[in-house]
Every structure is written in structure tokens, then in C-alpha cells.
Amino acid sequence: MPLDLWKTKPYEPSLRDGALYARGVDDNKGHLLLRIQAIEAHRAVLGDLPIRVRFLIEGEEESGSPNLARLLALEPILTDGDGALKEGGALDSAGRPQLSLGGKGILYCHFRVRTMSRDAHSGGATHYPNAAWRLTHAFATLMDEHGHVCIDGFYDDVRKPTKEEQAMLERMPFDGDATRAVVGIERFAFGRDDDQAKRASVFEPTCNICGIESGYNGRGSKTVIPCEATGKVDFRLVPDQDPEEIAKLLRAHLERNGFHDVEFSAEEGEHPYRGPADAPLVRAVAAVAEEAFGKPAVLIPSSGGTSPMWVVCNARRMPNVTLGMGHPGAGAHAPNEHILLENYWRALRATARLYSAFAAQA
């Protein structure tokens, strides 16, 4: 994390202009505290909760929750329930609460290629193999310029959106100008217009290069042919893609295209999950969110991120939904991550109200 880009120390919360700045204050320590304080507020004002609430907290979500499935296999009662209020939650650029009903899965891969025993002088670039070129050529075969993943079989298991999910997408507001402004771009990638970008963000899988390292990148010049290159790629997956199957297809793709020397390891994999939209929990969350924020809630079939909801919810097809206070400029995972306290108090009110509203719906 680039500490020099933080205006204040990331692990010492700083309050200024109605916002609280700290690493994880939005994603997701702030949301965890919000849920705990909501129960405290309910007990203080309204008395005991009318429903039973179980907190399932694990600290490995950012690395793919590698041990959660084993824990739940040992203690299956931990996922007994009528619904899951999953981590996180946000508002859109117009202040409407966004209620996500699922998330994409992930396959995270580490790549390595070595072409020589040591770096060589770049005068030999006419005949010495360059590891950086080798890896980038391999990466270039994974996706075309239109954003279509070129791995044979990659899309075979993609579940087509239902009519209800398509209708949900049509009703989902999407502010293309605000979405572009957050990261300072004029156009979306792959030539996509606003409607295409909205649909892709919900229903399409991705192939993304997270980083590449090779050769000399220090100050000044050093004319070398790098002997080794490494890189990291993540695939965001949609129902019903399986990360293990995608890893097999990726290996076959590299072999088929002559990249036998390009090594890769699948370091992280999670299944995608999308819960039902017509569940009592979803209706209750929509009602309390609209009351607290004064604007209609927006149902989103799947968010672009990943959380371990498949291992928590899939066995019982349990509904899951977000309810929170993040906003488009919160900067989760970035310098100067923050929340707006006005949103926090509104989300706290909504969450405290949820327990009684859900009890009445169920």
C-alpha cells in the first residue's frame, strides 16, 4: 500500500469534514462495527431482538477464505438460517442504497516464465529470448481487444440471466459519467457504452492482469534482456463457472498455444453466488434502507467483487443481501479510504430497524 499517498496515517482513524479516514473503514471493518452497534442500539431502544442473529466472522476473505469451507464442514449448524446479511454495502452516486444479491467468483493465478540462466546485454536481443516478451505474448492470447476471453470452454457453464434478473438490470440505475469520473477516464474499456458496461459489470466474467514484473525498473538505464518474468491474473467468474475447471481450461489453453514453458499456479479460487430476489430478507432490507436514506433501494443481481457467500449460502440456496454505507468515492483498498459519517448513522438506523422488519416479513 503506497503510504506516501495517505494524507494521514492509515491505521490511525482521522476525522475531517464529516468523513472518517482509515484503512478498512469501508471495506470492511466499518461495516462489521456497524452491525454490532445496530444490535446494541436495538437492545438499548427497543429491547431484545425478535429474531436470532449469528455473526460469522473470518479474517481471510481478501485471500480467498481458504479455510472457511473446512470450518463449515465441521460445524454445518453455523449456516443454519433464513437469510444472510453479507459484508459490505454501498450507495450509488445519487445516494440510492445498493442491495447486492450476490457476487462474482474468482480464480487468481500466479505466472512465471524463465528463458535463460541469467539476464543478458540487450545487444543480444536479436537472438536471446526475452522473458518479458514471452509472458506478455502468453497474456495476449487470453483475451481479445473486445474483452472476450479466448480460452476454449471458458463460457460453456455461464448461467444465462433469467427474465427476472434481466428486468432487475433494466431497472438498475447506472451513472456512466460518475463511474468514469471516479477513476479519471473519458471512455470505458473495449469500446463499451453505458448500457454494455452496466450489463457486463453484473453478468459477464472477466480476465484481468493485476501486475507484471520483469527486468530492470529502477532509476536510470540498464540495458538488459530479462531472463525471468512473473505476473498475476484474476478471473472474476459468474454462476455457474467453477474455478477449478477454469484453471484446467487455462492450462490446456497455454499448452495448445505453445506456451508449455509458462508456469502458473492457481492460488485462490471461490465460486460465484447469486441468491433469490423475492426472499423476505431482501424485502425487509429494501424497506428499511428506503426509510433510512429516503430513496428507493436498487437491487443488483451480482456485484463485481467476491466474497465467500457460495460456501455459506449455496447448500440451502439461502438469500443474501448487502446493507451498508459505502459511497462511490470511498476508496476501498486505496489511499485515503473513508466513509461519510452521515451515511454511517443512516445505515446504522436501517440495520437496527431490520431485525423487527424481517421478523414481520418471515
Q: What is the pLDDT of residue 1?
A: 63
Using left for φ > 0, alpha for ψ between -120 and 50, and beta otherwise, residue 59 falls in alpha
- Residue pair 302/204 in contact (Cβ under 8 Å)? The answer is no
Could you give phi then psi for residue 144, rounded to 5 degrees? -90, 180
C-alpha distances out from residue 232 to 113, 213, 307, Å: 12, 9, 20
Q: What is the pLDDT of residue 48?
A: 94
Q: What is the pLDDT of residue 166?
A: 95
Tens digits of pLDDT across the chain (362 residues): 688 899 999 999 999 999 999 999 999 899 999 999 999 999 999 999 999 999 999 888 877 888 999 999 999 899 999 999 998 899 998 999 999 999 999 999 999 999 999 999 999 999 999 999 999 999 999 999 999 999 999 999 999 999 999 999 999 999 999 899 988 999 999 999 999 999 999 999 999 999 999 999 999 999 999 999 999 999 999 999 999 999 999 999 999 999 999 999 998 899 999 999 999 999 999 999 999 999 999 999 999 889 899 999 998 899 999 999 999 889 888 899 999 999 999 999 999 999 999 998 76
The Cα–Cα gap between 263 and 254 comes to: 9
In the chain, what are the domains? 3-103+273-361 (3.40.630.10), 105-158+205-270 (3.30.70.360)
What cell does 72 get?
463449515
Q: What is the pLDDT of residue 216?
A: 95
**Non-local CB neighbours of 302 within 8 Å, separated by 6+ positions:** 100, 101, 102, 103, 104, 202, 203, 238, 239, 272, 274
Q: What is the pLDDT of residue 182?
A: 85
Q: What is the pLDDT of residue 362?
A: 62
**Non-local CB neighbours of 82 within 8 Å, separated by 6+ positions:** 280, 281, 318, 319, 362
Q: What is the pLDDT of residue 91?
A: 94
The label of the residue with cell 494521514 reads: 8
The Cα–Cα gap between 284 and 265 comes to: 43
**Non-local CB neighbours of 125 within 8 Å, separated by 6+ positions:** 225
Beta-bridge partner residues of 344: none
